[in-house]
């Protein structure tokens, strides 16, 4: 028998594997989620060289989760239908067709580093702006510092394309800012809805798939899904449909329950770094000086912006005046 300072070690019965702790499972779920977020940014850039059109990628993105979750969504149909129209619109627009097309088109004009940094990185700043506009208090302390770092990081990322002017990259960065603002709207909408992760996925994907199908059938957005390469279809089905559309939301919700919102959002802020590192071997992108400066600033800013202020010691609970600004929904 092996003994330690803590006492004798208990051997497991033959054939019984040690169980992972809740924290270990939560960490694993979060790591996979960050990789999925990075894959979304990479696929947004890869779409421009793919045989798929934006409408095709959107149909896969919103259609696959509906197909997989159909029985569960049917059981939640009354709760989904009971969501207020204004809240449903925030979710459907914020992460649905407008967001998806903006992210895909902006990515085709820039780089994976821009998608992975600007879209999630600017979300805390936009959410904070929405909260202030709604009458909530101004950010302070580390949150204010984090928001400032995000702004400086985005300026550092884009500045070299402003002087001298590279109209394509600047336009792409502007479109990605629109996508980030839409995602912030989605984040605020999620705070207003009383649905579990599966119900939230249904509330997003149902109207989004219906709109994309209508646009494709009427010819407003061209589709080439029937003639696209099988490898491209498989790639976007896995990354966008199963990964982003289904797994990311469920795994991130599990990570938050297991690790807490602050730790999850702080670790989630590493997704821009993962995008830059993965884009080197997968897309052949070389990080520029602007990327090497801007991405760390945005990452640090997101981590600080998502730190919750310490509660003050008081006999009575104080109202929350600081907006909680997650980097991802």
Please tell me the distance from the alpha carbon of residue 18 to that of residue 5, in angstroms, as a whole number.
Answer: 21
| Selection from 239, 237, 179 nearest residue 42 by Cα | 239
φ, ψ at 8 (rounded to 5°): -65, 140
Please tell me the distance from the alpha carbon of residue 310 to that of residue 284, in angstroms, as a whole number.
Answer: 43
Please tell me the distance from the alpha carbon of residue 227 to that of residue 223, in angstroms, as a whole number.
Answer: 9
φ, ψ at 319 (rounded to 5°): -65, 145
User: Are the beta carbons of 68 and 244 closer than 8 angstroms?
Assistant: no
* 7 secondary structure, DSSP code: E
Q: How far is CA 209 from CA 67, 71, 144, 193, 204, in A?
A: 11, 17, 38, 20, 9
Per-residue pLDDT tens listing for the chain (329 residues): 444 444 444 555 565 566 778 888 888 988 898 899 899 889 988 888 889 999 999 999 999 999 999 999 999 999 999 999 999 999 999 999 999 999 999 999 999 999 999 998 898 888 888 888 877 778 888 889 999 999 999 999 999 899 889 999 999 999 999 999 998 888 888 888 888 889 999 999 999 999 999 999 999 999 988 899 999 999 999 999 999 989 988 888 788 778 776 677 667 778 888 999 999 898 888 888 989 999 999 999 988 887 766 555 444 443 443 434 444 43
User: Are the beta carbons of 103 and 179 closer than 8 angstroms?
Assistant: yes
Spatial CB neighbours of 126, under 8 Å, sequence gap ≥ 6: 180, 181, 183, 184, 185
């Amino acid at each position: 028998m092996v003994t330690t300072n803590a006492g004798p070690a208990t051997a497991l019965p033959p054939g019984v594997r040690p169980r992972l702790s809740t924290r270990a499972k939560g960490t694993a779920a979060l790591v996979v989620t960050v990789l999925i977020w990075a894959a979304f940014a990479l696929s947004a850039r890869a779409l421009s060289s793919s045989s798929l059109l934006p409408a095709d990628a959107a149909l896969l993105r919103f259609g696959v989760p509906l197909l997989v979750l159909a029985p569960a969504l049917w059981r939640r149909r009354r709760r989904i239908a009971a969501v207020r129209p204004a809240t449903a619109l925030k979710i459907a627009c914020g992460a649905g067709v407008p967001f998806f097309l903006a992210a895909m088109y902006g990515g085709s004009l820039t780089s994976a580093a821009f998608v992975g940094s600007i879209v999630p990185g600017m979300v805390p700043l936009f959410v904070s702006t929405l909260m202030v506009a709604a009458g909530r208090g101004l950010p302070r302390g580390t949150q204010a510092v984090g928001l400032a770092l995000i702004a400086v990081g985005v300026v550092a990322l884009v500045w070299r394309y402003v002087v001298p002017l590279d109209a394509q990259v600047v336009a792409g960065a502007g479109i990605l800012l629109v996508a980030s603002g839409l995602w912030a709207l989605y984040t605020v909408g999620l705070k207003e809805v009383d649905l579990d992760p599966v119900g939230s996925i249904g509330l997003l994907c149902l109207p989004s798939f219906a709109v994309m199908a209508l646009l494709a059938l009427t010819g407003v957005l061209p589709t080439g899904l029937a003639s696209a390469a099988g490898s491209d279809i498989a790639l976007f089905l896995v990354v966008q449909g199963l990964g982003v559309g289904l797994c990311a939301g469920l795994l991130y919700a599990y990570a938050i329950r297991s690790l807490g919102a602050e730790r999850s959002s702080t670790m989630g802020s590493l997704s821009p770094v993962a995008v830059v590192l993965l884009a080197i071997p997968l897309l052949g992108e070389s990080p520029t000086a602007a990327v090497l400066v801007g991405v760390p600033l945005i990452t640090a800013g997101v981590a600080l912006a998502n730190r919750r202020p310490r509660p003050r010691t008081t006999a009575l609970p104080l109202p929350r005046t600081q907006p909680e600004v997650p980097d991802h929904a």
